[in-house]
Amino acid sequence: MLRSIQYGTARQPGYGYVRDEISAYENTNIRQLKVPNIFNFHAPQTDLPDYVAWKPLTQENVMNFSALGYFFAKAMYEKNNIPVGLINSSWGGTPVEAWISEEGLKEFPKYINDKRQYEDDAYLKSIKQTEGLSFYRWNTSLYRGDAGLHEATPWYAANYNDKDWKTVDLFSTDWGTNGLNPINGSHWFRKEVEVPQDWKRKRSDLAFRLHRRCRLRLCERYIRRYCFLPVSSTHLYHSGRCVESRKEYSNHTPHQQ
């Protein structure tokens, strides 16, 4: 997958450098066309929807550019001084077979048979409905069984007493199992972050690397992201001590794998 500037580079260790890079550069001779994530199992499509358009590399559009494409196009333009057009046709998590024509898959009848099933619109709709219902039921069950949300003092509260909690290594797998099997449900983590006084009223960024399906609450601010989380110090002006609460969802049911 070609991640966007917003999703990709903002979560890299050198985020500060990238932020300065993209805020200082515009070039209308570099444009990107993002192919929308749509599909049709009935026949190959010969054109794009009317709303799809080329977007120039401006401050308004840069955060939706492919991160790889941005640096590639910039280098190519600086070298050759000719306009560069990027076609971003990507869809994270899709199997490679989905990008191969039916003719190209003729030696693999299993995939041809799968396609035949998905040509039935009613069947495809039922799959989506089943997945949505399974996801809803899982999250409902998760919420009901989450002690951290239902105690008198929520576990994400700054005044919650966590003295009896164990200190764990997040890179270890020990805390997520009972010694034999993974533990489904919510796993909570808390970490205190000391913010230096000289950061007050200054522009800074904190980056938290979160596992997928994690949520973060920082200084009474509830945030959900996938990986790196840049947090502006504007949220820290009135507090020299912040409590970071992480909650990881562990789900090993088939529809979530």
CB-based contact 244:216 (threshold 8 Å):
yes
For position 184, what pLDDT does the model report? 77
Distance in angstroms (rounded) separating the CA atoms of residues 4 and 14: 16
DSSP the chain: ---BTTTTGGGSTTHHHHHHHHHT--EEEEEEEE--S---SSS---S--TT---EEESTTTGGGSBHHHHHHHHHHHHHH-S-EEEEE---TT--GGGGS-TGGGTT-HHHHHHHHHHT-HHHHHHHHHHHHHHHHHHHHHHHHT-HHHHSSS-TTSTT---TTSPP--TT-SGGGBSSSSB--EEEEEEEEEEPPGGGTTS--EEEEE--TTEEEEETTEEE--SSEEEEEGGGSTT-SEEEEEEEEEE--SGGG-
Q: C-alpha angle with apex 119: 116 to 125, nearest 5 degrees?
A: 125
**Mean pLDDT per segment of 10 residues, for the chain of length 257 residues?**
49 59 92 94 91 95 90 96 95 90 92 92 94 91 88 87 87 80 82 76 63 59 42 35 47 38
Burial bucket for residue 152 (CB in 10 Å: 0-12, 13-18, 19+):
exposed
CB-based contact 59:23 (threshold 8 Å):
yes
Distance in angstroms (rounded) separating the CA atoms of residues 30 and 80: 12
For position 108, what pLDDT does the model report? 94
Which tokens hold the place of 200?
């007050």
For position 214, what pLDDT does the model report? 63
For position 70, what pLDDT does the model report? 94
For position 5, what pLDDT does the model report? 54
For position 239, what pLDDT does the model report? 33
Cα dist. 184→61, 175, 237, 250, 256 in Å? Answer: 40, 12, 37, 5, 12
